[in-house]
Amino acid sequence: MTGSGRLAVVTGGARRIGRVVASHLHALGFDIALHYRASAAAARELAAELNGLRNESCALFSADLGDPQQALALAADILAQRERVDLLVNNASGFAPTPLEQCTPGQFDEMLGANLRGPYFLVQGLLSGFGPGASIVNILDVHVQRPLRHYNAYGAAKAGLASLTRSLALELGPRVRVNGIAPGAIIWPEGEEAYDAAERERTVSATPLQRLGEPMDIARTVAFLACDAPFITGEVITVDGGRNLVA
């Protein structure tokens, strides 16, 4: 990745929302450092697509962000290729039920690592690359405010990331702005019993806009915070079609 344009690091960028975010930022002129953990084939496919549109504009990086050492190594690998990072999108996430009576320390740590520890140490590792005007966008979840039954460890980790968003906005300003996005029902989780057909119908019917959102809704909000909101920091934007307004 030898381009000289703005660089966006997108974690979990191979599939689902992350893929659309990476593609949208690329269309806006960003070069992309595309992180993945297990979705190697999808990551290679997207990188080939983006590099076909603009040569050497996307590079792939693999790491398990639940491991702080791998998060720091990822940051070092990115900075070895490009000295400046203009945007970090902490999108990679773990999502799994942890009923209190069954949750093990390992399962709790897995949720904490994927959703909080990884973003923290990735930011730490990239600090020297953030220049004036850089931006961090953390992808959170509406369930920080509306807890999802049996997903207590996931919710706690995302709540921690919301707190970290505000803390880092204070600590890294004025050089770096830090904001969050809390998506609602955008893409249903894969294979999770919490969102069976009945729950999906209830969620949509209770949403004022009466539909699911789209990954592009998140991608556009990321782009807004990164490119068009120079006086916004420490904020979390909820993108849920108004679902949070309904009891």
Rounded CA separation 169/232 (Å): 10
Q: Quick check: bond before 174 cis, omega within 30? A: yes
Positive/negative CA dihedral, 151, 182, 134, 172:
negative
In degrees, to the nearest 5, what angle opens at C-alpha 246 toward C-alphas 241 and 247?
150
Q: How many Å is the Cα radius of gyration of the chain?
A: 17
Q: How many other β-carbons are positioned within 10 Å of the β-carbon of residue 76?
A: 11
Contacts of 78 (CB under 8 A, 6+ apart): 9, 33, 61, 85, 126, 129
- 154: annotated active-site residue: yes
Which one of the listed residues 36, 120, 151, 154 is annotated catalytic? 154
Just list the catalytic residues: 154
